[in-house]
A and B are shown apart, each in its own frame.
Chain A
Amino acid sequence: MGFTRETDHGTPPALVTGRNVTLTIDGEQVTLPEGTSIMRAASLSGGSIPKLCATDNVESFGSCRLCLVEVEGRAGYPASCTTPVAEGMVVRTQTERLKQLRRGVMELYISDHPLDCLTCAANGDCELQDQAGAVGLRDVRYGYDGATNMGQPKDQSNPYFDFDPSKCIVCSRCVRACDEVQGTFALTIEGMGFNSKIAASQNDSFLASDCVSCGACVQACPTASLIEKKVVETGTPDRAVVTTCAYCGVGCTFRAEMRGQELVRMVPWKDGKANRGHSCVKGRFAWGYAQHQERILSPMIRASVSEPWREVSWDEAIAHTASEFRRIQDKYGRLAVGGITSSRCTNEETFLVQKLIRQGFGNNNVDTCARVCHSPTGYGLKTTFGTSAGTQDFDSVEQADVILVIGANPTDAHPVFGSRMKQRLRPKNGKAGAKLIVIDPRRIDLVKSPHIAAEHHLPLRPGTNVALLTAMAHVVATEKLYDEAFIRTRCDWDEFQDWADFVSEASRSPEAIEPLTGVRAADLRAAARLYATGGNAAIYYGLGVTEHSQGSSTVMAIANLAMATGNIGREGVGVNPLRGQNNVQGACDMGSFPHEFSGYRHVSDAAVRETFEAAWGVTLDSEPGLRIPNMLDAATDGSFKGLFIQGEDILQSDPNTHHVAAGLAAMECVVVQDLFLNETANYAHVFLPGSTFLEKDGTFTNAERRIQMVRKVMAPLNGYGDWEVVQLVANAMGLGWNYTHPSQIMDEIAALTPTFAGVHYDRLEAEGSLQWPANDAAPDGTPTMHIDGFVRGKGKFVVTDYVPTDEKTGPRFPLLLTTGRILSHYNVGAQTRRTANTAWHPEDRLEIHPLDAENRGIKEGDWVSLKSRAGETTLRALITERVAPGVVYTTFHHPDTQANVITTDYSDWATNCPEYKVTAVQVGLSNGPSDWQEDYAEQARQSRRIMTVEAAE
């Protein structure tokens, strides 16, 4: 297929009213929903009206004046983009008079536009060029000796795109995309009339401005004025393949626009149901890591981690891996080995890794990175609702009247959904915006940003989530704001009453817990009332909820609130975990936990086990296996000796780095499959090169349970897709697999997993995506869960008593550290640090309140030491009131900092999810990197040595 842009109907679809009108366009009778623009109507019925300022992801604007049409009975020439269709209307879009007017307008455009089409980066992909052709402009009679906007300098400050004002036609599409789609309001028009110019912030460079580089403006630009640097370098693409982003759990779909085997750009796919044509700086631009020079393409092995790596053939690496695992099992027993699946890999790959372990290793020692992020979500929602997933699709937010965000920072960590949320928070078309409640220790961007202001921000002390949510429940119960009818039909009334009695105790009132949480009781009461009575109320939460010693309790407290107020089981409400990684939902679904098969079925369930045993031809262990922290404990104890790790960097991402390092060091065979020599690979004996999401077929499942296709757009540089490598290992261990395409793996998943029974590649190809459960009971998938009843039957109220964490501040460690992400980086940064995203965030910084900084003599940018009971590191300070006094914050994107040296072994009581979000620390001035950081850097350097192979000749 050749390259064509997606069809642009010019204006967004009309708001659904259910009423249609019939009109005549150029002699053809068409029937369309009322409110549709004439332009869209013409486009949908196969015509095309010339246009430049109209594009269907922003509201119509009516400025270019190319789309004028004639409407019988109306004076003048209305713009078809801003004129809605009407019953009986007779429209003509092509008359001699219209041609004359359009040519007149185009002649003006071209009188102030360079005529360097042949050498222009947008040559062949330029709407101005197309429309000049379409209106038949042949001459510009104005000459080129008059006023001009040409010849202005380019702004090339952004690492991914250029702004060339000389090519700008002032259509405002970029400004409108920034406002309406992204919601950053970074762009504006400076000046008036002929001198109107696009400006970023107050005439700053794009990089220095408020621009977040989401790419919406570049996508919207009809000319070469805003264009990807990669297109400037490479030329226009010649084909496009739709695939799914491999960054966060939003699951944006993109058109990977290719020139041969070279990726030219990623353009968000308008039909993608998760992102609706929008993107963020990571998915849109930060994919250069796939070709980064540090990527390892050859397998490597070594006998000990003190030796340099030795490149070997795939055959040798695979055979060595298989023999090592067999050797260890022979020597130390069946349970001495295990594996970790990756939330970065596809469902199919994840399924194969856990199958390798259960079928090949003969045990259940499999775990996944969800252990350290959303395992409490799985536990909490399964206990209360009956299924381990969010209840809504993203579209649901459009029906919300009240949005409660707790422990999540969507504009940084889930930026595309964050923008969607902001769209709903702003008033639109005369409809008031939704009201927002933010519960977070930090003043995240959502609390106050252009045209957005939270109704309530409850800046609680880290670690007091359960106390705060219980106090909200106290208000709901004591002020009788609960939905009795919902509770009586959908839940167990006696359980509710037990719960209500518990939360109603005076000791759980907002006033009583104010000293604990630091949140003013009046604010908390007002927020609780708003949530309970403000209409459709939806909760969105992130790792600020789960990564605590009471993570599972917090999830259940959230579920209790939603059930008590009847905010579950329809559009616009629900409990929505914002999943961190692209496929963390899928990895959990695929049976990556030591106690569960795919579809969250316990390994002790004999009936379930039998279906797998029948399919795989082995006897399966009925005992749950080891979780990641247990594996590491067992390793330091000497009983666990071999680990297969696919696509995860536990040394950097897991808490208490010293303990992780000790566990890895105690093993005899650590296999790391990854793109890069990550931190964990410093302790590995076998390195199997991984493939990127661009190099293989498969599926990812996003935070709304949406299963979407990942498509191979180029051949794997390392030679194999990750699923193929796992199959090679399995077969070397004698398992006899013979998958020739990931679709066959999905067929096996569907056959063995009731919630996935209807999921097959042909349907995904045809429908774009499916939301599980997708089976005979829900043939079209399930956008909203628990509509007629909870999956578990009756919704279960669980009493959640606040138990303070054992991690406490004191004289030695008076501050509380909490950690998180930043927009431009992703998790441990393995990918984003290898892209130009470092322009925005070259290092981890410690956010500290001016008061705490002043007490310690710390100035902006000073090196400071950050000490906890677990360890010490150094980094530079960023003084900001975004954090409250007593709280400090940092990100964990850079291995030089190793924020997890600081974090402790405390973890969730139910799931062992680490308590990343609360660490008692002290901060003081420092001269530079700590001894540990220097030792670590040296160890990493030693460990990353690769023996150069002698030239054969």
Chain B
Amino acid sequence: MTRVFISRDMASVALGADDVARAFADAGCEVVRTGSRGLFSIEPLVEIETAEGRIGYGPATPADVAAILDGSHPNRLGDIAALPFFAKQQRFTFARCGIVDPLSLADYAAHGGWIGLDIARAAEPQAVVDAVKASGLRGRGGAGFPTGIKWQTVLDAPNSPKYIVCNADEGDSGTFADRMLMEGDPYCLIEGMAIAAHAVGASHGYIYIRSEYPFAIDTMRDAIALSAGRIAPFTLEVRAGAGAYVCGEETALLDSIEGKRGQVRAKPPLPALAGLFGKPTVINNVLSLAAVPFILSEGADAYANVGFGRSRGTMPVQLAGNVKHGGLFEVGFGITLGELVNDIGGGTASGRPVRAAQVGGPLGAYFPPSMFDLPFDYEAFTQAGGLIGHAGITIFDDRVDMAHMARFAMEFCAAESCGKCTPCRIGSTRGVEIVDRIIAARETEPARTATQEGTLGKALYSRAPDRIDVSLGAQTTLLRDLCDTMKYGSLCALGGFTPYPVLSALDHFPEDFGAPAPALEAAE
């Protein structure tokens, strides 16, 4: 019987993978549902097992079954791993994704699974922490904090019990790496958490998954049940979120697991010392934890040898938005933004020129093509007024209105603000109002309404509606001042990072805010 591999990933299913799989089953094939390889322009992808290895066809429809089975289909792609999109990758974390049956323990073991856990459990906790430190792994959720140092703090914390919490509240627009991994290789995350538990002395862990990921929730629950014996005495459970973006902030996430309103906590105390239920807690992103099995099985050096500057190892970059080849691209740090957008992504799907790329989700900065030589590196992006975040890249063509994008950033913050700290709670709403005034004033400078010059106007002072200066200049200054208050005054990254997209739009695309376009760089 012919073995056929078809993805059960949510993105593939959205593109029709279930119908294709049913058609192959009806045709008498043995259909193995895998995760996604990660290139959506070839989904639904069908891989046929042959003597020469797997031969891929995609995109495929149920009508294509016969042509695919007899090898005549025009969308024949051959060996998927040999496609340039995949050949250029360094798949440390996503090595198995798209290849194995996600819930097959045999597949997982056959593809190098559990080696890292066995090595870790044979070693002292301190040795495991040292290996993670030596790998240079930094928090993949966006903050880039060295994972090994966080683990060391938890290992050294005297209080008990300790917890491992996985942040799988992947809320950034344009990101999907966490979801892909949980749906395509759940044991990898479980193994990473079990290693973390051994390293710091925890016995129970939580995976907090956003409610918008029903497939990932089901897959992780099934995988936890199936692997319970393998990771014992460590135990795991899945907690589903309730739709709040801010619950991806680690302390709000902890409050949410505790059954409270998801509000950001002030730090200190660090979650590493007083986290979940006030106990020492490792809280890491899916990608950080899923990178750990490789580090243990292949050695810290194997991981650390790849990378750029202080950013070591690989990053699963997610290309989305108006892009030709959207998907997941895992690669060592140091690749430039331009390579990712143009060479890997192939430019826009619309075929129009790229005008901007937003890196790091809705709170990331917008970069114009003039800055596409930036190397993918935490420090380089910070220096350029941006951030890597969760490595989601959203691409826009030349029809984008950057004032609207700045407004969207404020609107997003206003919609998702938990309401705890003042700069975010009030500032984001005021930010939307300011950008609206700017958009209104872009075309024609507003005429000042006739002021109540009389005593009443004076007496009302700033209360008088006509007192405020709605000119472009004044509103732009106010927007920058507001961004300053939010960036440096907010309690968490939601309010604190909202200025990135706003200020980068203002800085790099001033013409969209009614100001003169920046002079072209002096030609080199």
Contact = CB atoms under 8 A, between A and B. Distances in A.
Interface stretch (A23-31, A186-194, A400-408): A186-194
A170 interface: yes
Nearest to B429: A194
A195 B159 CA distance: 38
Contact of A191 (B265, B267, B419): B419
B411 to A, nearest CB: 11
Contacts of A79: 266, 491
Contact of B422 (A64, A81, A100): A64
Given A144-B465, A430-B159, A193 B414 contact: yes
Contacts of A736: none
Interface of A: 60-65, 68, 76-77, 79, 81-84, 100-101, 104-105, 107-109, 111-112, 115, 139-147, 169-170, 172, 188-189, 191-196, 427, 429-430
A203 to B, nearest CB: 14
Nearest to A110: B462
Given A143-B467, A170-B419, A193-B424, 18 more contacts: A61-B420, A65-B489, A101-B484, A101-B485, A104-B481, A104-B484, A108-B423, A108-B426, A108-B427, A108-B485, A139-B462, A141-B469, A147-B429, A170-B425, A172-B420, A188-B261, A189-B261, A193-B418
B256 to A, nearest CB: 13
Given A82-B268, A108-B423, A115-B463, A142 B485 contact: no
15 contacts: A62-B265, A62-B491, A63-B491, A105-B489, A107-B485, A108-B482, A189-B263, A189-B419, A192-B418, A192-B419, A193-B416, A193-B428, A193-B429, A194-B417, A430-B274
A429 B489 CA distance: 26
Contacts of B490: 65
Nearest to A195: B419
Nearest to A427: B278
A133 B484 CA distance: 21
Interface in B481-513: 481-482, 484-485, 488-491
B221 interface: no
A111 B266 CA distance: 25
Contact of A84 (B268, B415, B427): B268
A168 to B, nearest CB: 12
Nearest to B267: A82
Contacts of A195: 419
Contacts of B463: 115, 144
Contacts of A115: 462-463
A108 B491 contact: no
A63 B465 contact: no
B430 A104 contact: no
A429 B462 contact: no
Contact of A111 (B267, B268, B430): B430
Contacts of B421: 62-65
B430 A142 contact: yes
A713 to B, nearest CB: 39
A189 B462 CA distance: 30
B279 interface: yes
Contacts of B481: 104
A83 B266 CA distance: 9
Nearest to A142: B430
Contacts of A61: 266, 420
B466 to A, nearest CB: 9
Contact of B433 (A63, A101, A146): A146
A65 B467 contact: no
What's the interface size class on B, roughly? 35 or more
A101 B422 contact: no
Nearest to A192: B419
Contact of B419 (A101, A107, A109, A194): A194
A72 to B, nearest CB: 17
Contact of A104 (B263, B274, B424, B482): B482
Nearest to B262: A192
Interface of B is mostly: helix
A109 B426 contact: yes
B127 interface: no
A63 B268 contact: no
Given A61-B266, A76-B488, A145-B465, A196 B419 contact: yes
Top 4 A-B residue pairs of the complex, sorted by shortest distance between their CB atoms: A62-B266, A196-B419, A104-B485, A193-B417
A802 to B, nearest CB: 44
A194 B433 contact: no
Contacts of A77: 488-489
Interface string B385-427: 0000000000000000000000000000011111111111111
Contact of A194 (B159, B279, B414, B485): B414
A414 to B, nearest CB: 29
Interface of B: 159, 244, 261, 263, 265-268, 274, 278-279, 414-430, 433-434, 462-463, 465, 467-469, 474, 478, 481-482, 484-485, 488-491
Contacts of A141: 462, 468-469, 474, 478
Nearest to B417: A193
A155 B261 CA distance: 24
Contacts of A170: 419, 425
Given A142-B478, A189-B261, A429 B278 contact: yes
A427 B258 CA distance: 13
A146 B491 contact: no
B278 A430 contact: yes
B462 A193 contact: no
A194 B426 contact: yes
A17 to B, nearest CB: 13
B266 A104 contact: no
Contacts of A139: 462
Contacts of B420: 61, 63, 172
Contacts of A145: 465
Contacts of A112: 426
Given A111-B430, A147-B433, A101 B489 contact: yes
A305 B133 CA distance: 92
Most chain B beta carbons < 10 A, residue from A100, A112, A169, A194? A194
A76 B491 CA distance: 11
B278 A109 contact: no
Contacts of A189: 261, 263, 419
A60 B419 CA distance: 17
A780 B274 CA distance: 39
Contacts of A76: 488
Contact of B417 (A142, A146, A192): A192
Nearest to A108: B426
A188 B261 CA distance: 9
Contacts of B418: 192-193
B339 to A, nearest CB: 31
A104 B425 CA distance: 13
A623 to B, nearest CB: 62
B163 to A, nearest CB: 13
A36 to B, nearest CB: 13
A76 B278 CA distance: 25
B425 A196 contact: yes
A293 to B, nearest CB: 44
B158 to A, nearest CB: 10
B485 to A, nearest CB: 3
Nearest to B279: A430
Contacts of B491: 62-63, 65, 79
Nearest to A175: B261
Contacts of A172: 420
A38 to B, nearest CB: 11
Contacts of A147: 429, 433
Contacts of A194: 414, 417, 419, 425-426, 428-429
A84 B266 CA distance: 12
Contacts of B469: 141
A915 B244 CA distance: 58
A108 B430 contact: yes
A189 B263 CA distance: 10
A142 B433 contact: yes
A63 B422 contact: yes
Contacts of A192: 244, 416-419
